[in-house]
Structure 1
Amino acid sequence: MQSSVLSGKTYFIRTFGCQMNMHDSERVSGLLDSCGCLEVAEPAEADIVIFMTCCVREAADTRLYGQCSSCKSLPAPPGGKRVIAVGGCIAQRDGAGLLTNLDNVDVIFGTASIAHVAELLEQAFVEGGHHIRCEEKDSGAATDMPWHRAENYRAWVPIMTGCNNFCSYCIVPYVRGREKSRSFEKIVDEVTGLVRIGVREITLLGQNVNSYGRDLFGTPRFAELLRAVGDTGIERIFFTSSHPKDLLPETIDAMAEVPAVMPQLHLAVQSGSSRILKLMNRRYTREQYLALIDQVRERIPDIALSTDIIVGFPGETEEDFEQTLSLAEQVGYAHAFTFIYSKRAGTPAATIEDPTPRDVILERFNRLVKVIEDGAYAYNQHDLHTVVPMLVEGTSKKDATRLLGKSPKNQTVHAPIPEGYTVDELIGKIVDVDVDRARTWYLSGTVVGSPR
């Protein structure tokens, strides 16, 4: 689909937030490629600058305002006109309201409107002015758009959009809409096509993958989807995110029985206090969460568990926080994303008053980080003096002579480039690493055998 207006123009995309945002950026990039545009590495080189935004935490707003404003000082592009666009969750939430703080933005498109990016950009170049499209309902057209992937061996595959959970602190249901599952056949066909072109690893994406299919079939069919995707010949399957209330026994069975499903599970707990979980509208208790962990480990004993935890939710007491610490110690996460609560206007939690001093919340946060680090270090010791298959991604940022990649448990792995090979020859290959060093956030060792 060539566009006479956009053809030959350069573009730059900066993405904030989750994997779903990153995949949306791939779709926007693919659409612009099909219009004859060319991606560049810096905003100063671009005729089109696009910010794909996240609004889960307040810091994302601040970053967007700063980076958009910095575009004002960029030199004019060769064509004389630069179009600034904002997409994603902040765009969906604020719409035209963004122009109050960002008067240099030309195009605003919401999460359900990315299929219309090209026409909005064309209008901005031809007509000038502001062009805004923030539809409430997702037509699903975005999942059929072309994509531009940075890696030819790995891909994100969206299986659903939106969320029905309405956790009291979370803005996502308001900016991503209600759950909408893609058809079973489209997902399997997409993965089959990816296998055909050499993709080895996929991540199935959704705000709550465990409820996949509920809107289509009346009951979740995520376990069935995992088995069908595993039959395509794909070598590695990850998925995110999983809500504990919807993690069914049949899904745990599929994880254990489908060889391509990697032994890693991200299961966000958010708090270890049942009282706080109720205030968060998470719809499970501490005891139910820990019982799930036991069920998963019974079927997949060495699984790597990761999570999200919020510190400082309004009304959290020291006793509540101690419950979170003890849960983290009991589970022993391989990795965790820890956050200080960020008030999001429009969510129920934003109306809850909290007298807890900021320095108390920071002190609790630091205590939690220490527990998480200790658990991650202990978990990684299980792989010391074992051979771990690593999917090579490139080289370490700190040392270009060392390979960097991921294990089946999503651990970062480092190893010297083996003699006789170049990095380019190894990217996308799987190499076995004999691990002689296990640290908190990575494994390190020596490549043994031949790449495959």
Structure 2
Amino acid sequence: MATSDGQKPAVFLLSLGCSKNTVDSERLTAQAVASGVIFTDDVDQASIILINTCGFIEDAKRESIDEMLAAIGKKEEGSVREVYVMGCLVELYRKELSDEMPEIDGWFGTRELPEVLAAIGARYREELFDRRELLTPPHYAFLKISEGCNRRCSFCSIPKIRGPYLSQPIEQLLREAALLQRQGVRELNLIAQDISVYGYDLYGKSALNDLTLRLSDMGFDWIRLLYAYPLNFPLEVISTMRERGNVCNYLDMPLQHIDDRILRSMQRGIGRSETIRLIDEIRSRNPEIRLRTTMIAGYPGETREEFDELLAFVRQTRFDRLGCFPYRHEEYAPAFILDDTVSDEEKESRVSELMELQEGISASLNRKLEGQTLKVLIDRIEENVAYARTEYDAPEVDNDVIIEIGDNVVEEGQFRQVIIEDSTAYELFGKLCDE
């Protein structure tokens, strides 16, 4: 984390949750450093602990609460002076949390950046809106192209947490991207709650392809698209991926399910047949594309037959990357009124069954890469081993390419050519071509 000279008390920032939270923390850090705030990576050297919480799923909520309790413990033993909490969980449970944890010195939601800055001795400056102090490795970053969500998926509380959909203007995003590029960013990952409808609120039409083209023109090595909603997805972006060498042949499109009844109850706005046609069209336009998706198992009322339909769909579609979560009741999500009919044990069993199926698919797809030469980005080096990614792998969630580097000079943030020699379901093993 970046630090700054000054006499103010040191702050330890713990940023939890998704990449969108990461961007929020990076904006906060840049603003605070401009005011002379000192940050430390060592909590034992901090006078202030600031936690940016996640409130999306049960495990993330539990992690946020555990970290709050640990911070309170630091305060009670006298090793820190103040503890502040911000972010998604505060939006959902501010009153309940403040009642249960009076030791916390301040609570701030997702839209209270000036207030949290003031609490740690900084001030918000509008002219610094585009500035970020990266919490990722310096060679890649996330570009949040919009805030909030207008969808009403029954399992999701994001609209309450983040508010209505608000696209960031293209010119502002280009300025922010230019600043990131000057910081050394080579891979730009476009993120939002829903990138598919980017621009409708500002320009009356989809602007995702226009934005992608203009970012491509800036000369980034890789541009990646994450978190696309299947309904209203602008297919011209898929053609751009095929035509532009620096736009990764990769799309993260969470589908959640395939059964029509479940999709209607989820309020997804798209059914089985439309979903299959969309996937077929995407792959037809760009045969080189790799698709990542996410599924939910154990949604209220999901029968064994409906889950079997999901299994059959995954088996037939052969997604390149897939994650699955057990359904959990969210108090502020529309599905909270439904009877949670599937037991936790059965939910976990279905998740395991689906992921076992996907593991076999992933292993088969990775075996096809053995013997090929691929361009990879070196993410980190540990002793004599480099961990890298292909254009088909997003940071933090997808496959690693593991390379024994020997006496070769390799640096983090480099692009290298690698021959794939072996593979597992979630790893590739390669050697540098210039060995």
1:356-406 residue CA offsets vs partner (Å, 9 max, x unmatched): 33332222221111111111112212211111111111135xxx3210011
Give the unaligned 5+ runs of structure 2: 394-398
Residue number in structure 1 paired with 2:396: none
1:136-174 residue CA offsets vs partner (Å, 9 max, x unmatched): xxx998853443444221111111111011101101011
Go from structure 1 to structure 2 and tell me whether the alpha carbon gap of 1:364 and 1:412 turns closer, same or farther (over 3 Å shift).
same
Residue number in structure 1 paired with 2:81: 82
Counterpart AA for 2:405: I
- 1:227 counterpart (209, 213, 230): 213
Any conservation in 2 of the 1:272–1:325 contact (CA below 8 Å)? no
Counterpart AA for 1:441: Y
Q: Which range moves more in the overlay, 375-384 or 145-154?
A: 145-154
Residue number in structure 2 paired with 1:135: none
Go from structure 1 to structure 2 and tell me whether the alpha carbon gap of 1:219 and 1:142 turns closer, same or farther (over 3 Å shift).
farther
* Normalised TM-score (structure 1): 0.88
Any conservation in 1 of the 2:131–2:176 contact (CA below 8 Å)? no
Counterpart AA for 1:65: I
Tell me by how many angstroms 1:447 deviates. Answer: 0.9
Q: Count residues in correspondence.
A: 425
Residue number in structure 2 paired with 1:69: 69
Matched, 1:30 2:18: no
Q: Which range moves more in the overlay, 306-315 or 49-58?
A: 49-58
Go from structure 1 to structure 2 and tell me whether the alpha carbon gap of 1:406 and 1:287 turns closer, same or farther (over 3 Å shift).
same
Go from structure 1 to structure 2 and tell me whether the alpha carbon gap of 1:193 and 1:121 turns closer, same or farther (over 3 Å shift).
closer
1:247-273 residue CA offsets vs partner (Å, 9 max, x unmatched): 122122222222211011111110121
Residue number in structure 2 paired with 1:446: 431
Partner Cα distance (1:193, 1:35) in 2: 19
Matched, 1:99 2:98: yes
Partner Cα distance (1:293, 1:142) in 2: 40
Partner Cα distance (1:271, 1:251) in 2: 24
Tell me by how many angstroms 1:7 deviates. Answer: 4.0
Go from structure 1 to structure 2 and tell me whether the alpha carbon gap of 1:155 and 1:315 turns closer, same or farther (over 3 Å shift).
same
Residue number in structure 2 paired with 1:318: 304
Tell me by how many angstroms 1:236 deviates. Answer: 0.3
- 1:426 counterpart (401, 407, 411): 411
Any conservation in 1 of the 2:17–2:53 contact (CA below 8 Å)? yes
Counterpart AA for 1:54: C
Residue number in structure 2 paired with 1:51: 51
**What is the 5 A alignment of 1:158-177?**
158-177=144-163
SS of 2:324's partner is strand
Partner Cα distance (1:166, 1:46) in 2: 41
Any conservation in 1 of the 2:301–2:342 contact (CA below 8 Å)? yes
Counterpart AA for 1:106: D
Counterpart AA for 1:403: A
Counterpart AA for 1:15: S
Partner Cα distance (1:118, 1:198) in 2: 27
Matched, 1:119 2:118: yes
Matched, 1:403 2:386: yes
Q: Which range moves more in the overlay, 239-248 or 357-366?
A: 357-366
Q: Which range moves more in the overlay, 243-252 or 173-182?
A: 243-252
Any conservation in 1 of the 2:186–2:220 contact (CA below 8 Å)? yes
SS of 2:248's partner is coil
Residue number in structure 2 paired with 1:16: 16
- 1:293 counterpart (264, 276, 279): 279
Residue number in structure 2 paired with 1:275: 261
Matched, 1:303 2:289: yes
Any conservation in 2 of the 1:209–1:240 contact (CA below 8 Å)? yes
Counterpart AA for 1:42: D
SS of 2:173's partner is helix
Go from structure 1 to structure 2 and tell me whether the alpha carbon gap of 1:83 and 1:239 turns closer, same or farther (over 3 Å shift).
farther
SS of 2:110's partner is coil
**Moved runs in structure 1, 4+ residues, more than 4 A?**
75-78, 139-143
Give the unaligned 5+ runs of structure 1: 124-138
Partner Cα distance (2:158, 2:242) in 1: 30
Counterpart AA for 1:408: E
Tell me by how many angstroms 1:49 deviates. Answer: 1.1
- 2:404 counterpart (416, 421, 442): 416
What root-mean-square deviation, in Å, do the aligned CA atoms of Structure 1 and Structure 2 show? 2.4
* Normalised TM-score (structure 2): 0.91
Partner Cα distance (2:106, 2:131) in 1: 19
Go from structure 1 to structure 2 and tell me whether the alpha carbon gap of 1:197 and 1:70 turns closer, same or farther (over 3 Å shift).
closer
SS of 1:288's partner is helix
Partner Cα distance (1:60, 1:197) in 2: 31
Any conservation in 2 of the 1:31–1:145 contact (CA below 8 Å)? yes
